[in-house]
Copies of this chain bind each other. A is one copy, B any other.
């Protein structure tokens, strides 16, 4: 596909890292993700003020070498474009002048290492070269270490690329999200000169003020609920800002924000006639689909998809309105949902790069120990769903340095103990979790999986380090002996520093333990009875941890119960008028309490990525589609209707969609071209042939 966009280049669907045969821009892996992610996160405001993140922020590398071994039988004219000042080396080559955007350039015949050294400060250095045989793609190496990268034992990662960034006149940094004009479903004048508008559902974009007159400030209050946007208290809604009036027909605000309702409050001497917006579109296209015999579940899937689309920006973010930040634990769920809705990988890759940041590592990802561990799991899952081995090579050194940081903070027994400055999050729970003053079984389980994921990646790209696997095995074997309570018949939450088990019993380690096979049959029965189906054990209020709770039940084959829970919990939000799913839902909270969180009257996000998990749960466990080899090279389709009459749907893969239909007790499935899978239904397995 050739897309040449000059003035307002739009970000079309992103695809895999790869050497596709077409030239496309290349850059140091992760640099554009950092650059875009840094700016995106910094657009957050709160109570009318700027609100940058609170974790260490890394810049792209200003100087990068791009290298490629070439063997040219004849001289070759290439088209060249760079972001930044470029020096080209190899067989006496001359470099282009600084400022040259696009140029013809002759490469001499011969066998040599072609090096393009590109410098750019402020925007990441990038290179485009397109000739008969020499073309920039991920077969090039990229390194910021200059000649140090050529030393024995040093491995340079493959350059990062996007197949669609294939025009020399469109530099990667000029690409932005596409927008679409939208009008509110209703707007009215209130309180004299105010404008109050309802856009009908949660949205995200650039507000447009119509008919602005006068000179002075205009206060904009954004709300996901009507009371939020109506509230003029400076300490009320999280999201409000002042803008200077720019008289004219239409004033488009400079920063995109998330809202359903907008309240425009012109100061004295200023007036505004009405509003519209440029909706900033999700950069990815919906491929996944789900329909079944229960319209409530269909609506839940639809609102989940909208929720994920609104939180899918330059990278995945947590929520549309408040944070707009990216959190590794939340993002892991976005990735998994994204694999079932969009079936792309570039955005997951960007988000993984952003989350990881750079070196030296001085803090857990998002400051949260569990979030460091989730990052490793996400890398492994990314590879499983996309088959993008190049990414593993690009990310490997950063996996190692992050794990070395985490290992450096373990306690004397090699267990994940809290340390000053580390946040042991786990979940927003109704009671305080006992996460400190010892080792939690939950963190230790995550560490085991993180180590296993790193060992797996290391093996996959031939950089094996057995120490990670051995450490994982030792920690895994400790879990049940250390944390099991015979009295409670379950894993306990915390092993205190005095060597005794804390009395708090939570669902978290037990549902992870169920999903990850820690228990024998007796223990499993005990955990189900004493924890999972025991209403006396603290309930989970976040969709975040409901994701794992329901996944654990799915893995135990309890689909019918899972669908009932989805109907009640997500359906409960629909009954409250949700047009996107929430950060936290407690059916007992009514009225104003519904919107409050973090001690703030409207602190709760009503469009939160982690609210969208039905996309994943339905695709993975109802349609039953799962890759069993990286990138769906092998897959299974094992539908489980959980009591539904019929179900049909589509799951994207890197090679094309898988469609599934179960109607009248008959299951059918078609898979992508050139891939074959297995359909499991009614105790039988049949091969799904490759389509033409």
Residues of A at the B interface (CB closer than 8 Å) are 35, 38-39, 42-43, 45-63, 85-88, 94-98, 117-119, 121-123, 144-148, 150-152, 241-242, 255, 359-360, 362-363, 367, 419-421
Contacts and interface: CB of A to CB of B under 8 A. Distances in A.
B421 A59 contact: no
A51 B87 CA distance: 5
A439 B54 CA distance: 47
A145 B363 contact: yes
B421 A151 contact: yes
A332 to B, nearest CB: 22
B50 A95 contact: yes
A149 to B, nearest CB: 8
Nearest to A244: B99
Query: Dominant SS at the A interface?
Result: loop
Contact of A56 (B145, B152, B241): B145
26 contacts: A38-B63, A39-B121, A42-B119, A45-B97, A50-B86, A50-B95, A52-B86, A52-B117, A56-B63, A56-B144, A56-B145, A56-B146, A57-B61, A57-B119, A57-B144, A59-B62, A121-B122, A122-B122, A122-B123, A146-B363, A146-B367, A147-B421, A148-B362, A148-B363, A151-B419, A360-B360
A61 B61 contact: no
Contact of A94 (B48, B95, B122, B363): B48
B54 A147 contact: yes
A293 to B, nearest CB: 49
Given A95-B46, A241-B97, A54 B146 contact: yes
Contacts of A51: 85, 87, 95
Given A42-B85, A121-B35, A121-B38, A49 B95 contact: yes
Nearest to A420: B151
The CB with the most chain B CB atoms within 10 A, among A50, A94, A242, is that of: A50
Contacts of A420: 151-152
A367 B63 contact: no
Among all A-B residue pairs, the 3 with the closest Cβ atoms: A49-B95, A122-B122, A59-B59
The CB with the most chain B CB atoms within 10 A, among A60, A117, A147, is that of: A147
Nearest to A54: B146
Nearest to A423: B147
Contacts of A145: 56, 362-363
A152 B420 CA distance: 8
Given A48-B97, A362-B145, A59 B60 contact: yes
A242 B98 CA distance: 10
Contacts of A61: 57, 59
A73 to B, nearest CB: 26
Contact of A359 (B46, B62, B359): B359
A598 to B, nearest CB: 14
A150 B54 CA distance: 13
A119 B360 contact: no
A57 B48 contact: no
Given A151-B420, A362-B145, A421-B147, A97 B50 contact: yes
The CB with the most chain B CB atoms within 10 A, among A146, A150, A241, is that of: A146
A363 B55 CA distance: 27
Contacts of A119: 38, 42, 50, 52-53, 57
Given A57-B62, A57-B144, 10 more contacts: A42-B98, A49-B87, A50-B95, A50-B96, A51-B87, A53-B63, A56-B146, A59-B59, A97-B242, A147-B421
The CB with the most chain B CB atoms within 10 A, among A35, A59, A367, is that of: A59
Contacts of A144: 56-57
A56 B62 CA distance: 9
Contacts of A47: 94-95
Nearest to A82: B50
A191 to B, nearest CB: 23
Nearest to A124: B59
A357 to B, nearest CB: 11
